[in-house]
Amino acid sequence: MSVVRILNVSIPEPKSHFLAPYRFEVTFECLSPLQDDLEFKIVYVGSAENTALDQELDSLLVGPVPVGVNRFEFVAEAPKVEKIPKEDLVGVAVVLLTCSYKDKEFERIGYYVDNAYADEELQQNPPDVPQLDKVSRSILADKPRVTRFPINWDDPHRADAPPAQGADGSDAEMDAEAADDDGDDEEDEEEDEDEEDEDDGGEVDLAMTEEQDEAELASDYEEPDDDEKMAADAKHSAPVHMDVAMDVAMDVE
């Protein structure tokens, strides 16, 4: 079960100049005391072909973190133009907000960024050398791509133990559930249908289960998307048709 959950990310200025700072207002909930600070990063993925060109715009340590709902503002400067290939300056890129605890990432929120000329004539006939003073930036704030990574919050660098096994080698949790099924099949069938509806939005990671509650919450997780793949998808997709991987209780303003 995740100790920290991002509740809301607001982008006050989704439309701005290409060189304007990035500004995020983050609201998160902490369910139990943490020993260390949380680390947030803003990363600009400007090239689909080379992850070495990803730019960490800024990092921020948040702590000590009190139990309850917390809120902060995160501002980072625009990416360095000289580190972005000329052919990728104008077009669709990706900006990531990553969240980590003890150097282990537990949540990532990605946004497509549409860098385009505001002038219609330049849109139809773009110059060979991009004129960044005439390029506007539009962050698709209402279409985030969210990925959650299960970590061991007591010791993030230690892998979670596999589920306990029964005497015959089968999962003890599965044995207990099977016994419950025999007692009340009809009720369990209704619950299974409800769980299937909830699981439609993401993949279940059974490898991270230690307790039955974690097995139920595993449906909140999805396999992490490769940042390079997300940028490549952006290159070949119109912004209005972008795929949104949302399976979290998160309101985006």
Q: What is the pLDDT of residues 113-135, one digit of tens each?
A: 999 998 989 989 999 899 999 99
Q: Do the Cβ atoms of 8 and 253 come closer than 8 Å?
A: yes
CA distance 194 to 37: 37
Average confidence (pLDDT) over 60-84: 95
The residue with greater pLDDT, 232 or 144, is: 144
Map residue 208 onto helix, strand or coil.
helix
Enumerate long-range contacts of 128-135, CB under 8 Å, 24 or more apart. Answer: 129/86, 130/86, 130/89, 130/90, 132/18, 132/19, 132/81, 132/89, 135/17, 135/18, 135/89, 135/90
- SS3 for 105? strand
- For strand 4-10 and strand 251-252, is the pairing parallel, antiparallel, or unpaired? parallel
Is the pLDDT reported for residue 230 higher than 60? no
- Residue 23 buriedness (CB in 10 A; 0-12 / 13-18 / 19+): middle
**Which amino acid belongs to residue 56?**
E
pLDDT given for residue 233 in this prediction: 54
Q: Which long-range contacts (CB under 8 A, 24 or more apart) does 203-207 make?
A: 205/150, 207/160, 207/162
Dump pLDDT digits (tens) for 14-56. 999 999 999 999 999 999 999 999 999 999 998 888 889 999 9
The residues that bridge with 58 in the sheet, in sequence order, are 42
Which of the pair, 141 or 222, is modelled with greater confidence?
A: 141
pLDDT attached to residue 1: 75
The reported pLDDT for the residue numbered 227 is 55
* pLDDT recorded at residue 50: 87
Chain-centroid distance of CA 26 in Å reads 13
Closest CA to 105 of 39, 58, 52: 39
Residue 36 to residue 42: CA distance in whole angstroms: 20
User: With a threshold of 0.75, does the pTM exceed it?
Assistant: no
Tell whether the model's pLDDT for residue 171 goes beyond 50: no
What percentage of the chain reaches a pLDDT higher than 90? 53
Give Cα 191 distance to the centre of its chain: 28
